Amino acid sequence: MRGRYLLTTRRWAVLIADGSVRRGGSAVVTASRDLSTAGIAPDQQPHALVDWVLQRGGRVDGVALAAGEFGGWGLQASRTLAPGTELILLPTSCHLTYDERDDPPSLLALVDTIPPELWSARLATKLIAERLRGDESAFCSYLRLLPSALPGIPMFFQKRGVDALDYPPVTAQVKKRCLWLYNWANQVSGVGRGDGYGLGTVLAPLPATPGADPFGGAPVDLNAFGWAMACVSSRAFRTRGPSHPAAMLPLIDMANHSFDPNVEVLPTEGGVGLFARRKIEAGEPLWLSYGKLSNDLLLLDYGFIVPNNENPYDTVQLKFDVGLLQAGAMVTNVRDALGAPMELTLSPWKAALLAELRLAGPAANTELNIGGAELLDGRLVAAARILVARQESEVAGRGAERLCAVDRPLGRENEAAALAVLGGVLAVALSNFATTLEQDLVLIAGAEAGSAVMPEPLPQQPTLWPLASSDELLAVRFRAEKKRILGAALQRVAELARAVAADGGLRETAGAAAAKKGTKPAPATGKGFGKKKPA
């Protein structure tokens, strides 16, 4: 049976219609039908997928599909497994991908309209084509088990959910992805064709030439394409490296994520396999690591986050500019030697040093990250040290690595001022959020308990409302993690500041010692901070 409609959720169109993506006009959502009407009925019989893998020459041993911890499917050990055990062997004929040998030119031509970096959109076209084949698809046992909606992915959030993220690097990405899809869809199908499908329609149908439409004339709308992109981004693997198409790996992709995985995917002759990394007891869930991903990427691509400060790869992005450090200095009221508020002016030598750190100038990369193992971005520390320096000799000629070393102050006064500025920068970053961490935790606890208890608003703060949806709850959990990171970084700054204050005998650096003796420190090399100074 060929499905005529491929509609999943109307949320995508809502994001476009409310003006946050596209100003003016209104997106027409033609219908809100469940994907189950699109050719393939959902199936709760997971053994069919295992049988399918076996029929196609794969192997499945010691592993079972089970209800996962997060509401969907998961994998678990069906017996005790020794380290290195092969659990699933998936031959390439089971990989869902597009290919010059197997796919019609119409599908490949459509893929070619999508830039390679948008690999999930490329593979999404193939996924939709298979879905529309219905029971005739070679992958139908797999397609039946795919989720019919991916609510945690912010592309599908209501506007309130996107706003609740309160974190521009991610909200900008969400809007960019939606806008790209919207523009691409209109470019491919042509705007104003008067075909009666409205703005919600993507490819309806493609050129009238027979065989030119990989979807066989079935209307495929933004919602459907969004569903397919989200399925791909949350499940596909790049088994053959970034220059080859990504692939969906049926069954293997039922494993949920942990940063402490007990299984791994490895290439094998003729395909890929899932292997035990350590001894696993019967009944234990199988955990795969999806990669060293920040909560930003987990949320955008997979629709979940790792909460409670347990994501070691999560960071808060800051954009460097001198104004940020000046604001930090004002917030903490950093004073110069005469007791006047310290002005972080940008003299030419400071500008040159910042350029060598690639924080200024034509080759600048101003993205800084707070978090991870280090907590403080070394380049931010270096910038603070440079900007508070009273003379060039305090900072010049040390080498970038030395200047960025968080635990190696250049001199006591310089470090005390730099740390005060850093504390101010972190406080400014925290104050950019509309709510505090404490308020978020009350909101989260309230939503989880279904209680109406609301956090106290701060003076001047607009009224806070209870969280109205799971989108908003996830968004608040996400932003709470960012505040935890900034809080931990502030604590680190405070510890460092205490150490500087306590350490009267802070070692002088070569530059400071030379400056004191009235000699000039060795000049910085032409290649930036250049080599480390000899000890």
Ligand X SMILES: C[S@@+](CC[C@H](N)C(=O)[O-])C[C@H]1O[C@@H](n2cnc3c(N)ncnc32)[C@H](O)[C@@H]1O
Kindly list the residues in this chain that would bind ligand X in the complex (CB under 6 A).
68, 70, 72-74, 147, 152, 234-235, 253-254, 256-257, 302-304
Both structure tokens of 66: 């089970």
Q: Which residue is nearest to ligand X (CB)?
A: 72
Strands 287-288 and 256-257 come out as parallel
Q: 61 Cβ partners below 8 Å, 6+ apart?
A: 85, 86, 87
Minimum distance of ligand X from residue 143's CB (angstroms): 12
* Calpha distance 341→420 (Å, rounded): 12
Minimum distance of ligand X from residue 306's CB (angstroms): 7
Strands 201-203 and 271-276 come out as unpaired
Alpha-helical segments (H) within 152-305:
159-165, 168-189, 222-235, 295-297
Cβ nearer to ligand X, comparing 180 with 237: 237
* Calpha distance 235→231 (Å, rounded): 6
Q: 340 Cβ partners below 8 Å, 6+ apart?
A: none
Cβ nearer to ligand X, comparing 167 with 302: 302
* Calpha distance 357→380 (Å, rounded): 10
* Calpha distance 410→404 (Å, rounded): 10
Minimum distance of ligand X from residue 212's CB (angstroms): 33
Cβ nearer to ligand X, comparing 280 with 426: 280
SS3 67: strand
Residues 160, 165, 171, CA angle at the centre, nearest 5°? Answer: 95
Minimum distance of ligand X from residue 216's CB (angstroms): 27
Minimum distance of ligand X from residue 230's CB (angstroms): 8
Minimum distance of ligand X from residue 126's CB (angstroms): 17
Cβ nearer to ligand X, comparing 253 with 481: 253
Cβ nearer to ligand X, comparing 232 with 403: 232
Both structure tokens of 73: 């499917």
Cβ nearer to ligand X, comparing 106 with 137: 137
Strands 271-276 and 315-319 come out as unpaired
Minimum distance of ligand X from residue 341's CB (angstroms): 47
Minimum distance of ligand X from residue 17's CB (angstroms): 25
Cβ nearer to ligand X, comparing 213 with 253: 253
* Calpha distance 403→381 (Å, rounded): 8
* Calpha distance 104→269 (Å, rounded): 27
Both structure tokens of 399: 């080498």
Residue whose C-alpha is closest to residue 154's, from 472, 444, 441, 468: 472
Cβ nearer to ligand X, comparing 39 with 303: 303
* Calpha distance 477→491 (Å, rounded): 21
Minimum distance of ligand X from residue 303's CB (angstroms): 5
- The string of DSSP codes covering 385-398 is HHHH-SSGGGTTTS
Residue whose C-alpha is closest to residue 297's, from 157, 476, 478: 478
Are 110 and 85 a contacting pair, CB within 8 Å?
Answer: no
Cβ nearer to ligand X, comparing 248 with 467: 248
Minimum distance of ligand X from residue 320's CB (angstroms): 33
Cβ nearer to ligand X, comparing 18 with 43: 43
Cβ nearer to ligand X, comparing 120 with 256: 256
* Calpha distance 195→201 (Å, rounded): 9
Cβ nearer to ligand X, comparing 155 with 368: 155
Minimum distance of ligand X from residue 56's CB (angstroms): 20
Both structure tokens of 515: 């400056």
Cβ nearer to ligand X, comparing 82 with 266: 266
Q: 122 Cβ partners below 8 Å, 6+ apart?
A: 98, 111, 114, 116, 245, 246
Give phi and psi for 221, each to the nearest 5: -100, 180
Minimum distance of ligand X from residue 142's CB (angstroms): 10
* Calpha distance 211→203 (Å, rounded): 14
Minimum distance of ligand X from residue 193's CB (angstroms): 35
Are 85 and 275 a contacting pair, CB within 8 Å?
Answer: yes
Give bridge partners of residue 329 from the DSSP assignment: none
Residue whose C-alpha is closest to residue 131's, from 300, 234, 299, 248: 248
